[in-house]
Amino acid sequence: MQFSISTLALAMACIFNVGQAASIPVGAEIEARGLDKRDQYTHCACQFSSGSGIDGYTTTRVVGFNDYRWKLDIVETQRGDWGAHFTGYYAYARSGFVDGKAFYNECLQNGGGDSTCFGRQ
């Protein structure tokens, strides 16, 4: 198994109680659906936790730090439109497609608990 440096740092901070804000996001453990995260999508957004609604603040942060890769929709996507599971603002690729795994990792690094994507390619 491979873990990102940020996941390991958060785990160590939790174990040794370093910093009050350090915590491991819900859903950060490796799951069978992790292989699905490697696919390419047309739209992705961060979530508060697995199965929850869209975390607009974290999605905006992720897009802001990666504005060379992704843009944020200016119109809120409604649940059910084009396969969206939740209503909210989604990120889309400046060119090509959104790498689901990369977006998921960015969400975790910026305080999100999971990600949701649609428009699988």
**DSSP symbol at 30:** -
98 against 16, higher pLDDT: 98
- Domain around 70: 36-118
What is the pLDDT, as a whole number, of residue 71?
Answer: 94
**Tokens matching residue 19:** 């910093």
Please count the structural domains in the chain. Answer: 1
What is the pLDDT, as a whole number, of residue 75?
Answer: 77
Mean of all residue pLDDT scores within the chain: 78
In a domain, 45, yes or no: yes
**Tokens matching residue 82:** 């084009």
In a domain, 89, yes or no: yes
In a domain, 10, yes or no: no
80 against 59, higher pLDDT: 59
pTM score of the predicted model: 0.65
In a domain, 68, yes or no: yes
With the CA atoms of 91, 92, 93 and 97 taken in that order, what torsion angle do they form, in degrees rounded to the nearest 10? 120
Measured distance CA(2)–CA(29) in Å, rounded = 11
81 against 108, higher pLDDT: 108
In a domain, 1, yes or no: no
Surface-to-core class of residue 60, CB atoms within 10 Å of its CB (0-12 exposed, 13-18 middle, 19+ buried): middle
Average pLDDT over residues 44-61: 94
CA distances from 87 to 31, 62, 79 (A): 25, 18, 5
In a domain, 99, yes or no: yes
In a domain, 70, yes or no: yes
